[in-house]
Structure 1
Amino acid sequence: MDRIMAAITYNHICELGSLSAAARSLGISRPMVSRYLDEMEKWAGSRLIHRSTRRLTITPAGEKTLEKTRQLALLSQGIEGETTRITPSGTLRIACAHFTATHLLGAIIPSFLNRYPALRIEVDINNHPVSLVGARIDLAIRITNEPEPGAIARYLGTCQSIVCASPGYLKRVGVPMTPEDLVQHNCLYYSHFSGQSWRFRDKEKGDISVAVSGNFSAGISSLLCDMAAADVGLAMVPEIEARAGLESGRLIQVLPQLEPQPLSIYGLYQSRDHQHAALSLFLDAIKQHLE
């Protein structure tokens, strides 16, 4: 049996706290994880983990062995990286929202796969954050100013937004001239945000926050754009999402003197020690595209 893989599996068991979690993270069966653990204990000549129905406990011998297996995994990764860094292979699993898949990944993935034909990419589109470990995700792309704790977050760029509405809606209800005017309007917003407020940057007044309300919400910015173009109300959406509607005249930007608070784009991943060989290359491609 591959002792290096046994060492990597042992590291995952210790870091994640269970054989099942290690199996999900590595993409192998739980019986196989158990076999690798048995192999590690034979190799070490000692029991490394006390197993019970409720929890796993690392023995003193297991702690010493863990230090060595971590070094072995890093050494193995360094040797493997000399070739896989040039020609990454296997499957890179990415999680992101619908907007990110459409406007960001769709522009990057074709050339990336052409460059690395031995690589396979799976994209899990979900507008709610998913567990990197539980869903076996190598990389999650988040557009937020508060990336969730517990993962490594690499800043990639900025997402700029605008407020817009249709000519028909503005003719019927009127054009808001100040942030305070927004309380008189039907504001369409993202459904997964708690406590609806739109934030702006004003050169004279500084940061401004306005509580808004409306009769429609959605977790997809393209649908908010469609509703705004259909005379339903005002929407704050990424500028790139509204661009086609602005160019065609179906949408008009309002409050152009104010800058909606930009959102940061992050790449989130679980560990620097066991990351996919293509991960850093793909993050570099996203950052270069955004720049």
Structure 2
Amino acid sequence: MSTNNLSSLMSDMAVFVKVVETGSFSEASRQLGSTPSAVSRAVARLEKRLGTRVLQRTTRKLRLSDSGQVVYGHARDMLACAYAVLEVSGQFHDEAQGQIRLSVPKAVGRFLIHPHIPAFLEAHPKVDVLMRLDDRHADLIDDQLDLAIRITDQPPPGLMGRRLTDITHSLFASPGYLERRGAPAHPQQLCEHDCIYLGEEPGDARWRFSKAGRAVSVTVRGRYAANHTGVRLDAVERGLGIGSLPCFVAGAALREGRIVQVLPDWGFRTNYCGAAWALYPPTRHLPPKLRLFVEFLARRLSAAGADPP
């Protein structure tokens, strides 16, 4: 392939990436300063040269074909390499810029990530952040996302990532509740208490504990269950019972004495324990805005300690 043909192919690949990221020809053309017809022609040229269809077009949305998934990954790597070259050469002005679109579980986003966003925006004035708080597992490509933060043991197939911090859970109650009802000394005594749990699945009322190699499982009950950590925290503070909470949610109330930890000598495990990972599509070169954001979060969460106490 001649240099001219290669340059033209790379240009069409860059247009293709923009179409995938924006989800439409019209929005891609607006951001590129072009026209929808020109963008459509660029994608058509790319498909003709590759001999395969990269986009499945419907009246409502665009979807990547199987081959388009592969092409998009390579094309995105190509753009990331170009940005890396510009950064090294100084032509990128040593500043990250653009919008970061990320998906974060609701509690993690509200209590763990959001508190650090103002400092990031102040440090990087040319970067915008669009954070979607959603407990479902978003698809990075279909949902036009750059990054997803998930609680997992390791990156799932097809994604790369960086471990940010451990996510642990424990039991908490208000001092007033414990004065009235007494503090349990063993997990089995939780059967005598009002317990506040997630309540989304039957297994959420089955609390699992461990200590010195012993495992204990207790089915708890109570008059109140809620699938929002902020609501459960408030219920615990109001003395409605002993509640299961992520430690990063309970931290401030614990430090201020509004709640106390229950059964602190026992390990408490839920289906929502693990590690918070920043996940992104496989690439050898993260765009500067994403690299800086992931490094910033890892540094801040490590320094602050995500799981008080």
Please give the TM-score of this superposition, normalised by the length of structure 2. Answer: 0.72
Distance, in Å, in 1 between the alignment partners of 2:53 and 2:130 is: 34
Instruction: Report what 1:105 is aligned to.
Output: 113
Change in CA separation of 1:271 and 1:146 when aligned onto 2, cut-off 3 Å: closer
- Structure 2: unaligned runs, 5 residues or longer: 1-6, 30-35, 59-63, 303-309
Aligned length: 277
1:189 aligns with 2:191: no
How much has 1:239 moved relative to structure 2?
Answer: 2.5
* 1:54-94 CA distance string (max 9 Å, x none): 995869xxx9x999968854643442443559311110012
CA RMSD of aligned residues (A): 3.9
Instruction: Give the partner amino acid of 2:53.
Output: I
Counterpart residue number, 2:297: 286
- Asked whether the 8 Å contact 1:127–1:219 carries over to 2, the reply is no
Matches within 5 A, 1:172-187: 172-187=180-195
Note the C-alpha offset of 1:278.
1.3
Determine the structure 2 residue equivalent to 1:6.
Answer: 12
Gaps of 5+ in 1: 14-18
Q: Distance in 1 between matches of 2:75 and 2:258?
A: 60
| 1:226 Cα offset (Å) | 0.4
Superposition map of 1:46-57 within 5 A:
47-49=51-53
Q: Secondary structure at the match of 2:245?
A: strand
Q: How far apart are 1:234 and its partner, in Å?
A: 1.1
Which residue number corresponds to residue 238 of structure 1? 246
1:16 corresponds to: none
Say whether residues 1:200 and 2:206 are aligned partners: no
Amino acid at match of 1:184: E
Identity %: 26
Aligned counterparts of 2:103 and 2:77: Cα–Cα separation in 1: 30
Query: Is residue 24–residue 133 contact of structure 1 (8 Å, CA) maintained in 2?
Result: no
Q: CA deviation at 1:266?
A: 1.0
Q: For 1:1-291, what aligned pairs fall within 5 Å after superposition?
A: 3-10=9-16, 23-24=22-23, 28=28, 34-40=40-46, 44=49, 47-49=51-53, 72-73=78-79, 75-82=81-88, 83=90, 84=92, 86-145=94-153, 149-192=157-200, 195-196=203-204, 197-202=206-211, 204-261=212-269, 263-272=274-283, 275-291=286-302
Structure 1 pair 201–266 and aligned structure 2 pair: CA distance change class (3 A) = farther
Aligned amino acid, residue 35 of structure 1: R
Q: Distance in 2 between matches of 1:68 and 1:255?
A: 51
**Displacement of 1:227:** 0.6
Instruction: Check whether the contact 1:163–1:253 (CA below 8 A) recurs between aligned residues.
Output: yes
